[in-house]
Amino acid sequence: MRRVYEEELNKLHSQFFQMGNRVNEAIYKSIKAFVNHDKELAKSVIEEDIKINDMEHQLEQGCIELIALQQPVTADLRKIITVMKASADLERMGDHAVSISKSTIRVKGNKRNKAIEDQISLAGEKIKKMGQDIVDAYIDYDSHKAEQIALRDEEIDTLAMAIKTASIDEMRRDPELVLGATDYILVSTYIERMGDYITNISEWILYFETGEIQELNTHHDYKQLGV
Amino acid sequence: MLNQKIKVRDLKLWYGKFEALHGVDLDIYENEITAFIGPSGCGKSTLIKTLNRMNDLVENCRIEGSVELDGKNIYSKKVELNELRKRVGMVFQQPNPFPKSIYDNIAFGPRTHGIKKKNELDEIVEKSLRQAAIWDEVKDHLDRNALSISGGQQQRICIARALAVEPDVLLMDEPTSALDPISTAKIEELVMELKEDYTIVMVTHNMQQASRISDRTAFFLNGDIIEQDMTRQLFTNPKEEQTDNYISGRFG
């Protein structure tokens, strides 16, 4: 019985890995398309997202069946909960890659700003690396690594804030940039959100090991907003 | 791809005046485990016994309808009972080895069917005990009385005995309800391996057992089959409210 259960669980595990790779690829492509003004590549990201969503549904279905048919407890149950919750976070990351791609398709032809796009490119590089690392940490159930990855969310937040500030400055200087720079702000927000989902996945990896649901990187301190 | 092994159609069964099955239709597929679940007295054991005509032994028992094995009605006059029960073996709730040696228990069926040579019998005994995942535990004392080993081992001896005549179908009527959890796990594991080579029908009171190991499940209630479906479907999203109530323990 254990054998059957473990086979099923391993199947979910490898599905998660495959889904994670696809999402990371989508993130990479969406940002590449954005900074290269590559409308075709952006379209392909949107089309690929259907597959990512299918993969998530399959994973969820697999989890539901395992729970219903095998009645797992303790670590077995936590594994299923972890993969179910983490895959939902992955799926949302994929949705943000779609949003970035839609921006790409929309802004083509508007005036651009190379310096800000370079920053977006940098943030994209970082988020993609974090995405790959979190999938690896998940596969190894490496909670220490997961915590380290979550700490890197700070860098993403800082970069996203810098992109926003720069965009607003440039809009002030050159109103022709307003359309394009609005998308810079949107894209920086999408990247920032991806970082939050990666943090969530870190939390689920920790949950699997400790059995405790805990928050990493809370952003409930409104004093830094200067109010 | 799925080969239908047993086809039950409009089967009615009476014990004297009591109608125990009210016209049941059931499909059982090759190399699958089909589980029968349902409350006591709902007809599960009655139906499983009709699949190799064990009900012939019950006085005042009468049936209508048909049970086909590989497309042939097993209740037809042409059917040779010994041949039928060779093809459709059975394992019961209480381990019931004969009060003989382990070896003789396994060799009993093949001997009945005319196999006499020692080396042939040796081969069958070893093969059957291996298939029943008990060879390693008993190989050094095959001459021991089969009643002297543990209940879980006895049940695997009974499975080996059923396999020794190389049946197509293995009927199991609550094969683990008299066993402890470790022995139960061993039998479940074994049954899942056996489905590679056999078609298995199992009555169980343990719904978790049905959900864990079976491919298909039939839910019985008061002499009817309320629902039969793939186990994963039946246990995640049954079509009938009665099924839902029973498997989630809301019955009554």
What CATH number did the domain enclosing B242 receive? 3.40.50.300
Residue B102 confidence (pLDDT) = 96
Distance, in angstroms, between A178 CA and closest chain B CA?
Answer: 52
Kindly state the average pLDDT of the residues A77-96.
95
Kindly state the average pLDDT of the residues B157-171.
95
In angstroms, the CA B204 to CA A110 distance is 69
In angstroms, the CA B177 to CA B185 distance is 12
**Percent of chain B residues past pLDDT 90, beyond the cut:** 87
For B35, phi then psi, to 5°, come to -105, 140
Residue A3 confidence (pLDDT) = 77
> Is the model's pLDDT at A219 over the cut of 80?
no
Question: Nearest Cα to A160, choosing from A223, A227, A100?
Answer: A100
Q: How many CB pairs under 8 A join A and B?
A: 28
pLDDT classification of A227: cutoffs 50, 70, 90: low
Average pLDDT in chain B: 94
**Percent of chain A residues past pLDDT 90, beyond the cut:** 78
Structure tokens at A172: 């002030």
- Cβ contact, residue pair B189, A65, below 8 Å: no
Question: Is position B63 within any domain?
Answer: yes
pLDDT classification of B179: cutoffs 50, 70, 90: confident
pLDDT per residue as tens digits for the range B203-251: 999 899 999 999 999 999 999 999 999 999 999 999 999 999 999 888 7
- Strand-pairing partners, residue B18, are B15
Mutate to test the interface with B, among A2, A11, A64, A69 (most CBs of B within 10 A): A69
Interface of A with B in 28-67 (CB under 8 A): 64-65
For B113, phi then psi, to 5°, come to -90, 15
Kindly state the average pLDDT of the residues B11-27.
96
Kindly state the average pLDDT of the residues A147-175.
95
Please state the domain extents for chain A. Answer: 2-225
Residue A57 confidence (pLDDT) = 96
Kindly state the average pLDDT of the residues B173-194.
90
Residue of A nearest to B211 (CA): A69
- Cβ contact, residue pair B188, A64, below 8 Å: no
> Is the model's pLDDT at B74 over the cut of 60?
yes
- Considering its fold, how many domains does chain B have in total? 1
- Cβ contact, residue pair A68, B212, below 8 Å: no
Question: Is position B136 within any domain?
Answer: yes
Q: Which domain holds residue B212?
A: 4-247
- Cβ contact, residue pair B236, A70, below 8 Å: no
Closest to A65 (Cβ–Cβ): which among B208, B213, B236?
A: B236
Residue A179 confidence (pLDDT) = 87
- Cβ contact, residue pair A68, B188, below 8 Å: no
Question: Is position B199 within any domain?
Answer: yes
Structure tokens at A117: 């796009």
Residue A183 confidence (pLDDT) = 92
Question: Is position B144 within any domain?
Answer: yes
Yes or no: say if A24 and A132 are a contact pair by the CB < 8 Å rule. yes
Q: What's B145's DSSP letter? A: B
In angstroms, the CA B147 to CA B145 distance is 5
pLDDT per residue as tens digits for the range A20-47: 999 999 999 999 999 999 999 999 999 9
Kindly state the average pLDDT of the residues A8-17.
93
Q: Does B76 touch chain A (CB under 8 A)?
A: no
Residue A103 confidence (pLDDT) = 92
Residue A108 confidence (pLDDT) = 54
Q: Which CATH superfamily groups domain A2-225?
A: Phosphate transport system protein phou homolog 2; domain 2 (1.20.58.220)
Q: Does A1 touch chain B (CB under 8 A)?
A: yes
Closest to B232 (Cβ–Cβ): which among A2, A65, A71?
A: A65
Closest to B236 (Cβ–Cβ): which among A1, A4, A68?
A: A68
In angstroms, the CA A131 to CA A14 distance is 16
Q: What residues of chain B lie within 8 A of the CB of A63, using their CB? A: none
A3 by DSSP, 3-state: which? helix
Distance, in angstroms, between A70 CA and closest chain B CA?
Answer: 5
Question: Is position B252 within any domain?
Answer: no
pLDDT per residue as tens digits for the range B83-128: 999 999 999 999 999 999 999 999 999 999 899 999 999 999 999 9
